[in-house]
Structure 1
């Protein structure tokens, strides 16, 4: 087998490691490509290719994350990970850990860790690497890695909900939710949403964003009724499908261009949060991206035509950031 073929066999694992460390599809793909270049230029072949490549992509990802953190501190509005529709790496022995670590909630918890803690946690808790391999990957002693793992696990456990819905319950509830959305049944939606439900969008200053978000069942239902009905009227399409290993949906305009993704957090038999990603830069890996501003204007005209009310709560729509400002902030 050629070096390129050997590398391609391990590419899914390398991408999955990098994505969980970085929370970005594009940055993870770049990290994997850089790993290939370093491997291809290496004059010797490692004894364990998996260990060598995993260590290399981990070190690259740590370096990228350190610089990315500065940009994320200056990010416009809430920062969410880039949506991932499917994980290329599968391991039946660790399927639960792999699926849980993909959720938006878990990735946001990982953002609280230092780059080293995050890398150690991902390698140990998600991919079950041994501490000798982890120590080599992060260039620290085994004792230091064990301490990093303990701290990371403590932070992650403290932030996780105590009783999360299982997969079957999540999917059943999400199915009812999306059916009610398509049919415009507000009473059914209210029964599925938690009283303190939150709906927050990551626009990065490059797509419409309504103030800080919508909070509480009245605001969220008002938004869903006021904007989704016109969206469907002008040919928009909602495609329910898993996003980051949780129930979600991809929204496309009439030409099939992606404009938005949702992921749902389910807890206690209710939907607790809806995370939306509208930043076009975070959607490009999914195909052509639509013009969210043009879509919003068309939806607003359609809403006036059908007499839909404005949603309750904060409704100030953020205008596009000037191009020079976008470059400075991202």
Structure 2
């Protein structure tokens, strides 16, 4: 095969590695493009194209993540990953690992260093051998084994594994969105964990909560109040998987993307609700709505009704 054909065959894998390291669709796409430029510019063909490209995209992503962490310290409000609606890389033998590693809970685990994150992903999620991992991150196999031990410890301590099967999560999500549509505060509260958290990422570029809302009663009351108003001004939503978990895309009356809502389900209850409103993180999904204009419409509709 030609270089182009080799690269395109591996593009889904390269994007999936980069996205899981960076948590950004746009930055992952840039990393993949830079990987192509390095591959295209190499004078000789590597013995293993997969190993060469995986190593290249990993190193590029690590460098980008190191600089991105400094920028995120100045980010306005909570930082969430750019929503991923579908993972281009599929491997039935590793479907559980792939789904779990793309969840927002996993991507938000900042306690891992860039190297630990890369080693964990390559070894545990994508099944690379330690020789390939070592070559990719520029460390010895022994060092990579130590990095993996630390990463496993952080991963196990810092986030849940989503044990509910897909059908159970989807049924729970359907009940949640039905109650949301109806403004059924009681119905919502029954589906929420007692310590549920509702958090929004607007990045200072869209209306967002001043702080996280905690507790089933508080979250249910807020959702049961706000979303009926959105529906009254023709905001619509469609259920969609978001980062491997149930969620929805909300659109304005013109079909533009307003925000993404993602649910984290554990033990038959919703334990976290995350919304992404920052327009910079939604552009890869299509035209983006003016969230500030929607906010003004909601406030006006409330005044008129009251």
TM range (shorter): over 0.9
Q: CA-to-partner distance for each residue in 1:138-162, whole Å, 9 max, x for gaps?
A: 0110000010011101110111337
Q: Relative to structure 2, which stretch is displaced further, 232-241 or 185-194? A: 185-194
The corresponding residue for 1:48 is 48
The corresponding residue for 2:107 is 107
Q: How large is the RMSD of aligned CA atoms in angstroms?
A: 1.2
Q: What secondary structure does 1:241 align onto?
A: strand
Alignment of 1:36-115 (within 5 A): 36-109=36-109, 111-115=110-114
Does the Cα contact within 8 Å between 2:98 and 2:125 map onto a contact in 1?
yes
Separation in structure 2 between the aligned mates of residue 163 and residue 285 of structure 1, nearest angstrom: 27
Separation in structure 1 between the aligned mates of residue 275 and residue 91 of structure 2, nearest angstrom: 28
Task: Give the TM-score normalised by structure 2.
Answer: 0.97
Separation in structure 2 between the aligned mates of residue 226 and residue 90 of structure 1, nearest angstrom: 39
Does the Cα contact within 8 Å between 1:246 and 1:265 map onto a contact in 2?
yes
Q: Relative to structure 2, which stretch is displaced further, 31-40 or 207-216? A: 207-216
Q: Does residue 151 of the first structure (1) align with residue 139 of the second (2)?
A: no
The corresponding residue for 1:141 is 140
Does the Cα contact within 8 Å between 2:262 and 2:275 map onto a contact in 1?
yes
What is the CA distance between 1:249 and its match in structure 2? 0.6
The corresponding residue for 1:30 is 30
Q: Relative to structure 2, which stretch is displaced further, 35-44 or 222-231? A: 222-231
The corresponding residue for 2:271 is 272
Structure 1 residues 163, 235: closer, same or farther in 2, change over 3 A? closer
Separation in structure 2 between the aligned mates of residue 124 and residue 305 of structure 1, nearest angstrom: 58
Q: What secondary structure does 1:209 align onto?
A: coil
Give structure 2 stretches of 5+ with no counterpart. Answer: none
Q: What secondary structure does 1:288 align onto?
A: coil
The corresponding residue for 1:217 is 216
Q: What secondary structure does 1:242 align onto?
A: strand
Which 4+ residue blocks in structure 1 deviate beyond 4 angstroms? Answer: none
Does the Cα contact within 8 Å between 1:226 and 1:303 map onto a contact in 2?
no
Q: CA-to-partner distance for each residue in 1:157-182, whole Å, 9 max, x for gaps?
A: 11133774332221111111111112
Q: What secondary structure does 1:265 align onto?
A: strand
Separation in structure 2 between the aligned mates of residue 239 and residue 303 of structure 1, nearest angstrom: 24
What is the CA distance between 1:30 and its match in structure 2? 0.2
Q: What secondary structure does 1:19 align onto?
A: helix
Q: Relative to structure 2, which stretch is displaced further, 17-26 or 186-195? A: 186-195
Separation in structure 2 between the aligned mates of residue 176 and residue 262 of structure 1, nearest angstrom: 15
Q: CA-to-partner distance for each residue in 1:268-300, whole Å, 9 max, x for gaps?
A: 221111011111111111111111000100011
Q: Does residue 2 of the first structure (1) align with residue 2 of the second (2)?
A: yes
Separation in structure 2 between the aligned mates of residue 297 and residue 261 of structure 1, nearest angstrom: 19
Give structure 1 stretches of 5+ with no counterpart. Answer: 308-330
Structure 1 residues 18, 134: closer, same or farther in 2, change over 3 A? same
Q: How many residues align?
A: 306
What is the CA distance between 1:301 and its match in structure 2? 1.1
Alignment of 1:142-221 (within 5 A): 142-161=141-160, 164-221=163-220
Q: Does residue 262 of the first structure (1) align with residue 261 of the second (2)?
A: yes
Separation in structure 1 between the aligned mates of residue 286 and residue 160 of structure 2, nearest angstrom: 34
Separation in structure 2 between the aligned mates of residue 163 and residue 35 of structure 1, nearest angstrom: 33
Does the Cα contact within 8 Å between 1:123 and 1:134 map onto a contact in 2?
yes
